[in-house]
Chain A
Amino acid sequence: GQQLNQSPQSMFIQEGEDVSMNCTSSSIFNTWLWYKQDPGEGPVLLIALYKAGELTSNGRLTAQFGITRKDSFLNISASIPSDVGIYFCAGQRGLAGSARQLTFGSGTQLTVLP
């Protein structure tokens, strides 16, 4: 199926450093989501963005919904070991009825070195 262009594919950083990752799409989305997934677990929603240009923070996480509605970035400040995992962006569209469809990025594997 369709995927968003997410970069970088992987990152190795030192504890305490800041991290930035982004997603781009050829299609417009009305909602952008950022999920984190730990090994053997399901994705956990970190931040949801609902309006073009919106900048939202959740603790050390900051994400923005691009003005064109075709891109988003996620920043993590002062990384810690528990930030390790795979980060997925997802664009969301409504479907007929109550459902919504997510299109996922390919993921960014983050490794934090002590």
Chain B
Amino acid sequence: DTEVTQTPKHLVMGMTNKKSLKCEQHMGHRAMYWYKQKAKKPPELMFVYSYEKLSINESVPSRFSPECPNSSLLNLHLHALQPEDSALYLCASSQVGTNYGYTFGSGTRLTVV
């Protein structure tokens, strides 16, 4: 299995809703990442997990809450989002001990209404 799987592919949520994005990989990668991407812009790093521990939070608002329950799963919990949070949310993973590039998932297209 050489994929990073993200669900759901599309999500529409209201500003008072609570939802979660899910990311899964079975490549044995011990670093996992959340990125946010606006249209025609490069991905922007949000969070980095290394060996299931949060190692980087790029000053992301607390309405985004990451969770890494085990080495294969990464979640992003969403609460009280704003319309400007609408974007493509990408999960990625990378292999320990090598310089190989990240493997990205296909993303969750989030629309906040």
Contact = CB atoms under 8 A, between A and B. Distances in A.
Contacts of A31: 99, 101
Interface string B41-62: 1111100111101011010000
B103 interface: yes
Most buried by B among A90, A100, A101, A102: A100
Interface residues of B, number: 35
Most buried by B among A33, A42, A48, A94: A42
B73 to A, nearest CB: 16
A88 B88 CA distance: 16
Given A98-B96, A100-B31, A101-B48, A42 B106 contact: yes
Contacts of B31: 97-100
Contacts of A101: 45, 48, 56
Interface of B: 4, 6, 30-31, 33, 40-45, 48-51, 53, 55-56, 58, 88, 90, 92, 94, 96-97, 99-107, 109
A20 interface: no
B50 A45 contact: no
Given A3-B42, A98-B50, A100-B94, A45 B55 contact: no
A58 B50 CA distance: 30
A50 to B, nearest CB: 6
A56 interface: no
B4 to A, nearest CB: 8
